[in-house]
A and B are shown apart, each in its own frame.
Chain A
Amino acid sequence: MKEKVIGNRASRLDAVSKVTGKAKYTDDFFEREMLVGKVLRSPHAHALIKHIDVSKAKSLEGVEAVITHEDLPKIKFATAGHPWSLDPNHRDVADRLILTDKARYVGDSIAAVVATDHLTAEKAIKLIEVEYEVLPHVLDAEEAIKPDAPTIHDEKKDNIISSFGQAFGDIEQDFQQADYIMEGVYETSIVQHCHLENHTAYAYKDTDGRIVIVTSTQIPHIVRRVVSQALGLSWGKVRVIKPYIGGGFGNKQDVVIEPLTAAMTLSVNGKPVRYQLSREECFIGTRTRHAIKFYMKTALSKDNRLKAIHIKAFSNNGAYASHGHSIIMSASSKFRPLYHFNSVKVEPKTVYTNLPTAGAMRAYGVPQICFALESHLDDICKKLKLNPIEFRKRNLISLGHVDPLSKIKVRSFGIPECIQKGKELIKWDEKKKSYENQTGEKRRGLGMACFSYFSGTHPVGLELAGARIVMNQDGSIQLQVGATEIGQGSDTAFAQMAAEVLGISMDMVRVISTQDTDIAPFDTGAYASRQTYVSGAAVKKAALEVKDKVLKIASRKTGLKVEDLDIVDKQIVEKDLGTPLCSLEEIAMLSYYDRIHAEPIKSDTSENIRTNAVAYGVTFAEVLVDMVTGKIEVLEIYNVHDSGTIINPSLAEGQVHGGVSMALGYALSEKLMFDEKTGRPLNHNLLDYKLQTILDTPKIGVGFVETYEPTGSFGQKSIGENPAISPAPAIRNAVLDATGVQFNKLPMNPQAVFEKFKDEGLL
């Protein structure tokens, strides 16, 4: 009987290593006489640097180097973790210098010190004298595009990074013929990833003259390319090693500290230098999630069908482009294969401001647009007195839907079942009835929100993945992938895939978890929830190639045809009868030691995936709102997902728990705040920035509707980012249900709720 490995609740391969403290992260490696790098950050939100005097800092004992932009190549480079594009028109905005020649936000990197220890480095930082000419600054995206706003980058005088939009259908006609036109404005705030391990890296020059960088990154192969570009080096001159990493959530899908770490080691003749950010630096000096303001306008017919949607969006990108306009482009593509519209028009503007740079964060623009759209739909239902579930169901697209712009086809479609399951889990109908006409100080409400999401970036980005397998003498294998394990469990999922194809047990698969660009297969990294779908296809291909080689040797040995053979439970069997013929180990031994045919079994493959699979899901939430204090308590929350085949339910649940938890913070407590007058951050630490603790987190219910996605190598679709998308609008809609108040701005923390209640005359 063939054992199924796909769908098992296999333990993480790295669980023991992590629970014993033996797993090594970037900071856990030591080099002899490792130096320490530190950065002088701008105290001004916007200022010209007139002069930098580093002489005092340089003369401090223990300081080995002080560098400024004047010591570095004048090459502007782009940092986003996207595959390189051969088409110059399809590249990210190159607006960075390793150390800046103009301060564009409070925290901008002005100069760097390399010293023997932290204290000396810190002392030296204080001795650097910078003469600034302070300029007016702008923090708000809509303000930044006014004609009199200060210009942040000379290359974009109007501060607009891009206003490229998307549209299909005859939107004017649809609005002219509409029976109802609904409008709403929705706004999200700046939040931060807060992975427990801050950005950290160290670098040295090898004896062959190449720069070696060990770094906490999601994208080692991209780091190699960007460091090379920033320093004007040939790409092969840089080697990047990624050990275990303490979370990323998109913040390490960006080349944030590695070019400077490389520059630091070059400034001291290649001696090893460690550059680690403090938590406070990590909050402002890495990336944030874009705050986006949406103006939504929707046309409906009187039979309550959505006809057209016109969205204007202002995306606050902060001081540098990073992922820039891709975020709002992702948002405007990924919401489409959910509800049917005759016409859609998205007019976005991605704008520079004097704030920390926004970049990729779990679900890449989609939590923002989902908050706007799903809140807007509930506002429409409230106005037209419609049942929000029935209204959504009535407007869903159907299986086989092809997006007119991306041409992505919906080949598996479990959202109707997800809605049904979520509704039953929360006992919607029953509770809904009992919560009518509440007037007390504490009111309960129910809300829900749906989402659609992609699996990878096709057709916008290249989706290339690599996998390599070597079979040992005992039939066990080493599996090497270019895709990175960042805590989500991809290594374990890949091991399950390889074990499934090869008919071996999980303990016979060793996944090489470290990516070293010298030896790891090429893969663009961990982002866009691409790994099980895209990199999983490469793993399957590599395993099938190995299987074929095993069976060829078995065929030679047994005289049976390859197509009549299979590997089941480490045995070569005759497929139809299931009779064991010999062990896999015997075949592996032949591959190493047969005097005539010996050729060890291995594969080295790449997959260029040119499809995408639309994943779906829904959140149902029940809240208790304190009408006096403004405190919102989430009593129950369920996320139900259609992510195709679930490779490992335990890991998938873990993704849902973490995503929902992150979204609870997004909805209720998290907001990175800045002083309007100075642009200074106000709460860039884990005490004042309100992350969810275990005491704040309710029990998170998880459901899966397992469809089979024909383009997935095992029927799978994305799951990693998806759970972070729909909880915020579901909670918002539950609060609307409880109180009748429309909260159109995140987060709904007690202060914001209290103030809104006052504005509405409820207090």
Chain B
Amino acid sequence: MMKKINLNVNDKHYAIEVDIKESLLDVLRDRLHLTGVKQGCSVGECGACTVLIDGTPYNSCIYLAMWADGKKITTIEGIEKDGQLSKVQQAFVDEGAIQCGYCTPGLVMTTTALVESGKKYSDEEIKREISGHFCRCTGYQKIFNAVKKSLDE
């Protein structure tokens, strides 16, 4: 069954018809070609497909596209502004937190949400917040540093 939905993705409006079974991930990748959103498991285990829905990080692979009707979606493609890396992106580059890069977009999204929350996080809280993201390359060391740097005033 198809359903017509309105999406705001990275400040751009889309009116599209989606299958009610389609995940937001598939719509973002296959229909809108926002391929910075990565697929690692399709069942909400790895965090690679994380996007912000009204500012909150979600695994887009287990979020139905039709649930996103009328909501504001931000993907990694919407983070860079006027050709400038965001503070979070710059911190990931500067701290050497990137290796194969497949988990990076998802981590940047969750970190962006942490920064935008305006809250303070202890080291343990930072770890808890990003523990939904698997990374097999970095041992999380430089990722942790990048998140911490992103949250620094």
Contact = CB atoms under 8 A, between A and B. Distances in A.
Do chains A and B stick together as partners?
Answer: yes
Nearest to A702: B141
Contact of B99 (A17, A30, A488, A699): A488
Please indicate which of the listed interface residues A25, A196, A654 has the most CB atoms of chain B within 10 Å of its own CB.
Answer: A196
Contacts of B103: 196
Nearest to B91: A19
Interface stretch (B1-9, B32-40, B63-71, B113-121): B32-40
Contacts of A12: 93, 96, 98
A439 interface: no
Interface in B60-105: 75-77, 79-80, 85, 89, 92-94, 96, 98-105
A14 B101 contact: yes
Give chain B's interface secondary structure class. loop
Interface in A659-706: 659-662, 685-687, 691-695, 697, 699-700
Contacts of A650: 96
Contacts of A278: 42
Please indicate which of the listed interface residues B77, B89, B98, B130 has the most CB atoms of chain A within 10 Å of its own CB.
Answer: B98
B96 A654 contact: yes
Contacts of A28: 35
Nearest to A686: B45
Interface residues of B, number: 52
B140 interface: yes
A694 B144 contact: yes
A21 B35 contact: yes
B18 interface: no
B136 A21 contact: no
Contacts of A25: 35, 38, 102
Contacts of B134: 194, 196, 686, 691, 693
Contacts, number: 165
B139 A700 contact: yes
A684 to B, nearest CB: 11
Nearest to A28: B35
B75 A21 contact: yes
Contact of A20 (B79, B131, B140): B79
Interface string A621-660: 0000000000000000000000000000011011001111
Interface of B: 21, 29, 33-43, 45-46, 48, 75-77, 79-80, 85, 89, 92-94, 96, 98-105, 108, 127-128, 130-131, 133-144
23 contacts: A18-B104, A19-B93, A21-B34, A21-B35, A21-B77, A27-B35, A27-B39, A196-B48, A196-B103, A196-B136, A245-B100, A247-B102, A279-B46, A487-B101, A651-B96, A653-B141, A653-B142, A658-B136, A661-B138, A661-B140, A685-B41, A691-B134, A694-B133
Given A21-B76, A197-B38, 18 more contacts: A12-B98, A15-B92, A19-B85, A20-B36, A20-B77, A21-B34, A27-B29, A196-B134, A196-B136, A197-B40, A246-B40, A487-B101, A487-B137, A653-B142, A654-B138, A658-B99, A661-B138, A686-B41
Interface of A: 9, 11-12, 14-25, 27-28, 30, 119, 193-198, 244-247, 249, 278-279, 486-489, 650-651, 653-654, 657-662, 685-687, 691-695, 697, 699-700
